[in-house]
Amino acid sequence: MRNVRVGAAQLGPIQKAESRSHVVKRMLALLDDAAKQGCTLVVYPELALTTFFPRWYAEDRAEFDLYFEADMPGPETVPLFERAAQHGIAISLGYAEKTPEGQHFNTSILTDRKGAIIGKYRKIHLPGHVEFDPERTHQHLEKRYFLPGDLGFPVFHAQDGLIGMCICNDRRWPETYRVMGLQGVEMVILGFNTPSVNSQRNSEGLEERLFHHRLSLQAGAYQNATWVVAVAKAGTEDGHHLMGGTLIVDPEGHIVAELPGEADGLLVQDCDLDATRFGKETIFDFKRHRRIEHYGPITAQVGVVLPPKTA
């Protein structure tokens, strides 16, 4: 058995006026709780240090640079890394990254149990739009403030296994899991900030969004024989509601743990990485069963190409 005791550290809402140092205190409280429960890995949500600022439009994008981290760890986040190292716990957290070259990404990192960063992922599937859209009831401007990720879907040696990362909307795309699955991934960790109502389909409410959320995670886990750990930022944030849905899925696609509510909370689960072997060696033995000669359109085209009409 290669057991990873995971703490999925959900955060409740982070208001616009809340300081990073206060958010880090909340994250430290969850980390201390995880240490008491014997966790070796704690996963925090997407954009864990700030409110979900892409809900607002700024003519000058530089106005929102205050939400970005130029260094990780930085002055306000160093305590989190130090405490994690003291506890011997690896952490993963999402944040808005500003590179030395001035590029902006929606990013997650993974540390080892000594607090050193060993992996980085930048969100690839950015939802939403670039310009203000008066037809929408809610703005979602990730495409305005972030570039698409440029690191691919790497998988890292960690926790005596193989761990990959994705962020929020990535979880809905089967290619996300498959690219990591082809690297032998045994646990996919991700954070998300998901509105409870679709901005363009108001009839799609909370329960429908949670259904699609669970469906995407369960399918990705089963079809690639991997654990999936998904962690929410939830609750009413600056007047906008984010759904919960922090949960853990096993390699056969079963939800084995789910956190109720929308406040700060910790979901703890033992995840045996050896449980991935059955699926990887039988139904989804890629080496024996994949037929890549028929998969060309997946990477050769972006949109739909209709088949020719028969006479």
List per-block mean pLDDT (blocks of 10 residues) for the chain, which spans 311 residues.
97 97 98 98 98 95 96 97 98 98 98 98 96 86 97 98 98 98 98 82 75 98 98 96 97 98 98 98 96 96 94 74
pLDDT in tens, 96-136: 999 999 999 999 999 999 999 999 999 999 999 999 988 88
CA atoms in the 13 A half-sphere facing the CB of 38: 6
Residue where the block lists tokens 């995840």: 271
β pairing state of 155-158 and 117-122: unpaired
Catalytic residue among 39, 166, 168, 271: 168
Of 39, 46, 142, 186, which is the active-site residue? 46
The verdict on domain 3-300 having CATH code 3.10.20.30 is no
Name the residue ranges covered by the structural domains of the chain. 3-300
pLDDT on residue 138: 80
Could you say which of 39, 97, 123, 262 is catalytic?
A: 123
Q: Taking the model in full, what pTM does it have?
A: 0.96
CA atoms of 34 and 291, how far apart (whole Å) = 43
| Neighbouring residues of 252: CB distance < 8 A, sequence distance ≥ 6 | 221, 222, 225, 278, 279
Q: With 0-12 CB in 10 A as exposed, 13-18 as middle and 19+ as buried, what is 245?
A: buried
Does residue 211 contact residue 243 with C-beta atoms inside 8 Å?
A: no
Q: What is the pLDDT of residue 201?
A: 47
> Is 123 part of the annotated catalytic residue set?
yes
